[in-house]
Structure 1
Amino acid sequence: MSTQSPIHQDFQVPLFRLAFRPFFWFSAAFGAISIALWAMAYSGRLVFSPYGGSYFWHLHEMLFGFTVGVIVGFLLTAVQNWTGVTSVKAVPLVLLFLLWLCARVMMFFPDAFSALSIAILDVLFLPAAALAFARPIVKVRLWRNLFFIPILLTLAVLNGLMHLSLSGAVAVSAPSIGYLTVLLISLVMTIMGGRVFPMFTANGTGTARVAPIAILEKLSIGSVLLSVVATLGFLNTPAIVLGLIYFFTGAINLIRALRWRIWVTYSTPLVWSLHLSYWFVCLGYGLLGLNQFQLLASASTALHAITVGGIGFMILSMISRVSLGHTGRRIAVGYTMTIALVLMLLSVVSRVALPYLLSDYALAIQVSAALWVMAFGLFMVRYAPVVFRARVDGRPG
């Protein structure tokens, strides 16, 4: 009988055989719980005093808790496919996941832990994830994917600055840092969208894959990068220039998205949802342009078009697809997840449009939040057997 530890064989706990498993499911759960708590706190139905206060906590945790958790789960899963080298799993994955989870839990109890300990633990997560991501890339010298490292480390810096903003140690405010973080995350989405959405469309609909146009790809991604740089406060970019950059970013990316042919995806929920999520990113940039020209009173609507419509909608669709593919299942969803995706679409529309249609702003927030919670709640129920059990084809991962 072999006495070798399971750690050195195929890890015996399915949840920690590949990074998408814990990070997708628990990030979805955290996102559902967080939005529910925020909606109740915003409407005055819950007295909630987390680390930094309820507004800071909502802003920080939806970006550096929910969104970053999914990004890390996706990258640490994808890098194994890209390189052919086993990604982080077993005990190292458990430790990385606990680093993420402990920071989330500690922020609920600011009186039990020092602000410094919470900040340090939280900020350490992204550099640790970047190190785990870099190892297989460096091993096979797949340098074209190394650019994700500076993105992850820049997110870590922004996270640190957001923590420092609480004490006034930096002049910039948490909302301003959050604004820039949303744009940086949209850069990740535009990069990955161009890589996989045409392929997913072709595979999901049985149609020919749309070939990229090099100049359009460069302009689409470059415009988002320019938006991030131009938004940096110390550059003092004139509002008219920044507005034009945002308009161009939204327009060129919409042209890119239209080439992916959403009209062939109507019977494929896991594909049309990805297309629509990308459209909301484009809409968000257009609305940011209107805000710079003072034609939209607040940037909040624009940012929520990107966060709820782009980030949230894209995440729900992507984690649904990736979880099926990496557990040996057929990449198709039934009624449950189709309903979840429709609910998510309604959540986006509610968050962007209802504040202008209802006199009660808090009610608009609650409607959108309830739809969000139901959408991610359905994912949690439907995908618990997927992520907590071994692959159906018996393969590792």
Structure 2
Amino acid sequence: MINIANTKTSSTEQKNTPMAFLELAFRPFFLCASFFSIISLLLWGAMLNGSFTADVYGGALWWHKHEMLFGFVSAIIVGFLLTAVQNWTGVRSLNGKGLLGLFILWLLGRVLFLMPVNLSPWFIILVDITFLPLAAAALAYPIIQVKLWRNLMFIPILLIMTLINIVMHYSIVSQSPQLMNNASTAMVLLVTLIMTIMGGRVFPMFTANGTQTPRVNAVGWLEKVVIITTLVALIISFNIIDLPTEFKAGIYFIAAVAHAARAFRWKVWVTLKTPLVWSLHFSYWCIAIGLLLFGVAELSATVSQSQAVHLLTVGAMGTMILSMISRVSLGHTGRAIVASKLMTFAFITIILSTIFRVFGSYFLTDYSQVINTAIVFWVIAYGCFVYIYLPILTKAKPGY
């Protein structure tokens, strides 16, 4: 259902595409969102250090949270889904001028946030919140055309992301830092739910194929517990009802144990010689430990919610995205799905970024060093991706 295995684009499609860069959505969104994550984190670090000042839309903290979630992560998700839908349906997905228009809309939002002076905030909001609904429409068209109703589940997910984005913007209008925090945490947990669903579908297959070992079959009741508890954790994050701290912590703990049991069954130890697989396993273990930290943060000051959030964002999302976009980009450009030495190095550096961002305050006294070190390792990791995949994503498949 979520498989986006290699497909061979016909020569007609290649001819009709204005340029290879706009052949499928993974090309512009994977490459440019990765580069944007580098720029935005460098700017964030400079603003925190006081070495750079900018009147960004929403203020520095709001901008950082929003742009990493709705600027970077959302673009990767859209690139992934609009690529996958062509495999699911056999119908040509968004490409050429239509894809260029959607990409420019995404890019315009990123630029407007950096120069909000003399611009109507309502115009900035409109540009930003339009991206995900238009992506949902582009995703829905081929699904509806072939009546593949089971894959319509991704349409409401994109629309829920849009609603959370609207709440993020409303937190500026209402000047509510708590609402901003609730909305950004909800987005983190919604993306975690997506990773949970996707991981269950493809990680056992990737592990079996990549390591030449038997595929681990899913256990029905465990799969349900994993998804239901993650969904409940997402609902809790909205803070619509004031629930007892112990209850919330209990949900996070149950979800963490369920994820850990699922991850253990996938046998990470058989993947240690296969970087494109062990990196995925690492990212999934970050989900289990991240949810555990959410529970601990509810009960104790020894762990902060920020640490839990960043284990899910830097550790789970950052690593899973880096691994998946590397794999998908190779497969869809007709190359062998094997990580180069430089890409393996990138996976190691994103893990180091995770360790410093989440646990660095335990062994570094200067908090700015924690942030700066984590940013440097992220920039190296995604810089490696951009360097390796720039020619791959901007040129036609070999043989065309």
Q: TM-score range by the shorter chain?
A: over 0.9
Specify the alignment match of 2:34 in structure 1: 28
CA deviations on 1:91-136 (whole Å, 9 max, x unpaired) are: 1100011110100011110104221111100000000000111111
Specify the alignment match of 1:18 in structure 2: 24
Is contact 1:99-1:121 (8 Å) kept? yes
Q: Provide the rounded CA distance (Å) in 2 between the counterparts of 1:132 and 1:296.
A: 45
Equivalent of residue 64 in structure 1, options 61, 67, 70: 70
Is contact 1:137-1:145 (8 Å) kept? yes
CA deviations on 1:175-214 (whole Å, 9 max, x unpaired) are: 1110111011100110111111111111111122111111
The residue type paired with residue 384 of structure 1 is L
Equivalent of residue 307 in structure 2, options 280, 301, 304: 301
The residue type paired with residue 204 of structure 1 is G
Specify the alignment match of 1:142 in structure 2: 148
Shift of 1:305: 0.3
Specify the alignment match of 2:127 in structure 1: 121
Q: How does 1:1-397 map to 2 (within 5 A)?
A: 9-168=15-174, 173-394=179-400
Greater shift, 141-150 or 316-325, is seen at 141-150
Is contact 2:29-2:79 (8 Å) kept? yes
The residue type paired with residue 251 of structure 2 is I
Shift of 1:10: 2.8
Q: Provide the rounded CA distance (Å) in 2 between the counterparts of 1:320 and 1:95.
A: 25
Q: Provide the rounded CA distance (Å) in 2 between the counterparts of 1:329 and 1:145.
A: 27
Is contact 1:287-1:296 (8 Å) kept? no
CA deviations on 1:258-280 (whole Å, 9 max, x unpaired) are: 11111111111111000000111
Q: Provide the rounded CA distance (Å) in 2 between the counterparts of 1:296 and 1:28.
A: 33
CA deviations on 1:211-259 (whole Å, 9 max, x unpaired) are: 1111111111111111111222112121111100011111101111111
Shift of 1:170: 7.4
Q: Provide the rounded CA distance (Å) in 1 between the counterparts of 2:198 and 2:301.
A: 31
Is contact 1:231-1:242 (8 Å) kept? no
Secondary structure at 1:219 match in 2:
helix
Shift of 1:393: 4.3
Shift of 1:43: 1.8
RMSD over aligned CA atoms reads: 1.5
Q: Provide the rounded CA distance (Å) in 2 between the counterparts of 1:8 and 1:61.
A: 33
Secondary structure at 1:113 match in 2:
coil
Specify the alignment match of 2:9 in structure 1: none
> Normalising by the residue count of structure 1, what TM-score does the alignment of the two structures yield?
0.95
Specify the alignment match of 2:6 in structure 1: none
The residue type paired with residue 183 of structure 2 is I
Q: Provide the rounded CA distance (Å) in 2 between the counterparts of 1:206 and 1:114.
A: 56
Distance change in 2, residues 1:373/1:112 (3 Å): farther
| Number of residues of Structure 1 aligned to a counterpart in Structure 2 | 389
Is contact 1:223-1:249 (8 Å) kept? yes
The residue type paired with residue 273 of structure 2 is S
Distance change in 2, residues 1:393/1:258 (3 Å): farther
Runs (5+) with no aligned partner, structure 1? 1-5
Q: Provide the rounded CA distance (Å) in 2 between the counterparts of 1:69 and 1:125.
A: 9
Is contact 1:75-1:133 (8 Å) kept? yes
> Normalising by the residue count of structure 2, what TM-score does the alignment of the two structures yield?
0.94
Q: Provide the rounded CA distance (Å) in 2 between the counterparts of 1:7 and 1:218.
A: 40
Is contact 1:231-1:237 (8 Å) kept? no
Runs (5+) with no aligned partner, structure 2? 1-11
Shift of 1:85: 1.3
Distance change in 2, residues 1:150/1:110 (3 Å): same
Shift of 1:49: 2.2
Q: Provide the rounded CA distance (Å) in 2 between the counterparts of 1:7 and 1:280.
A: 40
The ranges of structure 1 where at least 4 consecutive aligned residues each deviate by more than 3 angstroms after the TM superposition are 6-9, 169-172
CA deviations on 1:63-93 (whole Å, 9 max, x unpaired) are: 0000000000001111111111111111110
Greater shift, 376-385 or 105-114, is seen at 105-114
